[in-house]
A and B are shown apart, each in its own frame.
Chain A
């Protein structure tokens, strides 16, 4: 019995570290992941116009990017888009998470998981083309070309990213807490308001931030769905790359990187926090 108990196997100390080539692969992966980013950040401070020759430190490209009206316009659009899409997606994801964890098992529940997570499984390019075709038809039919198409599209693919942390949070939450609230005379609404919502709150904030970052970062779907002149930061940069490449693009990337890093760190802090 004691021979093959799981504790024993663990104690014997099997470690991937001892696999041949482990350190080489690990090192290579780290370099491949981070070296380009480091170079990108370093050259955003380059004095010269080159992405390859270091000519001394300056903030010139940051100043230029900040003064560039096309960048300002794209940044503002990206922010509005990410905030709207992430908010709507988080509300939808919260309701979906409640419906899939706080109800008795019902037939078709697995189907619903699959439906909610569809954007994670369908290749983005397929979604993009599908949206392009449908939205193009609607645009022709209604003549309406506002940002609403982008918001709808971003909301749709943000839902699963908001859903996952919220659902994870709800699943670690003891069902009996809500039973206890009802037992103590709380109505359904007060049970939600006073017990469920405060406890799932870190999950909701985490979901919101993740959705925000995902929306901020999107190129493929945005490129296909946007109408003329509706550049977001990523599509603006993509456009720039087709022309002259200056460290201005590096500067914008560095700012996005910083914003993303802050949000993702907050996300991990929140999801790992025990109430």
Chain B
């Protein structure tokens, strides 16, 4: 559907030149919910603006359904945007905003009216259709922005952190609503967020970006469970990074214990860094026995559904273990200062490329 071929964007010239995107390659499939995830300033908005046509790429090409659209103006692309600040027209009503794109496409009046009515129903805004956009709440504005962008039925919808201004509860509702809309309309969504949980729950696939580059593309499970780079692992979820030695498809932790692992491309036998998610570590009080790793408890942090133990290994490495809380607590968790024995779940260890 969308192919982005080694897109590079350089802002400024000479000394002040800044490379906001560096040879980005992505292919986004039809009807996919594709998320760009990354820290502030990594180039997410820049990539969206390239797809929408607000900026030309410095190098590279953008294709839509096989056609090169790199040089087309925004008005010539069947792509619509939900802006981060919504950018609703303040001098038009809710219905007027939604009708705008259809009117610009020169659709006949009755078709405009029926599509607007359908969109209002879709985003549940029928009651407020005559209000000014300054007279509706943030969540309602967001729905209008969505309806306005969906009304011309674009091939691709770009959403730039559309939920970031909403409070947590509304945000959760809108996440579900967005997923529903995407299913109902069959439109390809390119969604930008820097909220990892939002990315994991909503996306078909996620591209994790940093410093103008895409580090990894994969479905949420792959991204969370098999991050290829330390940055990706660190950005998504909680992580323990441990030193280990890789030899013939097995790693041996510096702190003890040997595990079967899958080895990513381009990683040779020798010293490696591995990822171990805190929820994949179990801990009990007492001395370590065979297959267990010895540790001492530094602190215990209770956080409602789980308790996190901060532990020190004999090698000096620090490890977190996140343990789900049993009803009323079973009292078997080690206390601060105790020795503990750690067990690592099978398949929990991921070898990182860097």
Binding site for B on A (CB under 8 A): 174, 176-177, 179-187, 190, 194-195, 198-199, 274-275
Q: Is the CB of A186 within 8 A of B104?
A: yes
Q: Is the CB of A180 within 8 A of B81?
A: yes
Q: Is the CB of B85 within 8 A of A182?
A: no
Q: Is B287 an interface residue (CB 8 A)?
A: no
Known contacts A180-B81, A275-B134; A185/B87 CB under 8 A? no
Q: Which 6 A-B pairs have the closest CB atoms?
A: A184-B101, A185-B104, A180-B87, A176-B87, A182-B74, A275-B90
B7 to chain A, nearest CB (A): 19
Q: Is the CB of A184 within 8 A of B100?
A: yes
Complex CA–CA separation, A31 to B75 (angstroms): 60
Q: Is the CB of A183 within 8 A of B85?
A: no
- Nearest CB in chain B to that of A176: its residue: B87
B53 to chain A, nearest CB (A): 8
- Nearest CB in chain B to that of A173: its residue: B90
Given contacts A179-B74, A183-B81, A275-B91, 11 further A-B contacts (CB under 8 A): A176-B87, A179-B81, A180-B87, A182-B74, A182-B75, A183-B54, A185-B104, A190-B104, A199-B90, A274-B134, A275-B90
- Nearest CB in chain A to that of B106: its residue: A185
Complex CA–CA separation, A182 to B80 (angstroms): 10
Known contacts A183-B74, A183-B80; A195/B89 CB under 8 A? yes
Complex CA–CA separation, A179 to B74 (angstroms): 8
Complex CA–CA separation, A29 to B183 (angstroms): 69
Residue from the set A183, A198, A274 with the largest chain B CB neighbour count within 10 Å: A183
Partner of B152, one of A177, A184, A194, A274: A184
Taking CB atoms, residues of chain B closer than 8 Å to A190 are 104
Q: Is the CB of A186 within 8 A of B90?
A: no
Taking CB atoms, residues of chain A closer than 8 Å to B104 are 181, 184-187, 190
Complex CA–CA separation, A174 to B134 (angstroms): 14
- Nearest CB in chain B to that of A190: its residue: B104
Partner of B83, one of A179, A194, A195, A199: A179
Indicate with 1 or 0, residue by residue over B72-115, a CB within 8 angstroms of chain A CB atoms.
Answer: 01110001110101011111000000001100110000000000
A270 to chain B, nearest CB (A): 14
Q: Is the CB of A184 within 8 A of B148?
A: yes
Q: Is the CB of A177 within 8 A of B89?
A: yes
Complex CA–CA separation, A174 to B88 (angstroms): 10
Q: Is the CB of B90 within 8 A of A180?
A: no
B54 to chain A, nearest CB (A): 6
B162 to chain A, nearest CB (A): 13
